[in-house]
Amino acid sequence: MEKLALPIKNREYNDFAMESSRWDDFTSRDNDILICSPAKCGTTWTQMICALLIFQKTEWDKPLTEYSPWLDVLLTPTQKVLAQLEAQSHRRFIKTHTPLDGLPYFEKAKYICVGRDPRDAFISLKHHMANMNMEAMAQSMANATHQVKLPEPSPEDPREWFTQWVTSSCTDSEENSAHADVMYYIRSFWPYRDLPNILMLHFNDLKADLEGEMKRIAQFLEINVPTAIWPELVEAASFKNMKLNAKQLAPQVTDNLWKDADSFFNKGTNGQWRDILGEKELELYQQAKNKNLEPGLAHWLENGRLRLK
């Protein structure tokens, strides 16, 4: 059997929110978990699931972001985040929005890549950006090693914004931020999906069968969970529960990133794009998808694993 090729870091990513070079001084441990996804595809949901599986309890004394730091983000000085991770004695689970070609690859770490239909991710991103405190992001400039330019205000017309967003997918356009480029991000992982330490997870599957996907994640992470506590863990990972506890679970709540942390978890539903995007925008989406994604990846990205069975 031909040996699978291993990922190689060959790009650097810099934008207004993050720098991939912050990984350069990171020292891995054999059982590290990297939670890897583009924005608004289920990152925080997956962090919550990992926390529940690792600690096997549903209440903690710190915000989720302190247990599972976002290493790339410029809001916190690099050395502070690295020191925080070094001090952790529990199994580490680290958030990143850097594509795989910008990440170091550790054969003994576990990578969970989370995907979502790009159209659904866009609708969620629209709400997300409106809720972001740009004054907090501006303060992050002091932690950057490159010249940071905050993004221009997004067009008020969601169709115009979607057109800019989707036509810049998989390009080096200044309007394109890698952490929000769903097609490019997932494409960077797709060729390596059969490696034993990479798991492809989909937002749709989490919604369709949360318990089944949590057990699949537990098996991948080689974590044994007593049968008796599964119902409690699954309930804690539900969208309803996470929304009720948004002040503790929303990312970077310690950095004043949100105007309203309670609304970070908005609706958690799919298909809202049908009421917003028109025929022209959907044709541009199809063109971008056909140009940049192989058919198998495109089908998975829109549907998830369970719908493909």
Catalytic residues: 97
Alpha-helix residue ranges (DSSP H) falling in 144-202: 158-167, 182-189
Cα(18)–Cα(97) distance, integer angstroms: 8
Closest CA to 264 of 129, 139, 97: 129
d(CA 41, CA 36): 10
User: Which residues neighbour 127 within 8 Å (Cβ) at sequence distance 6 or greater?
Assistant: 263, 266
- Cα distance between residue 121 and residue 116, in whole Å: 6
At 42, list the tokens: 């289920």
Alpha carbon distance 274, 108 (integer Å)? 42
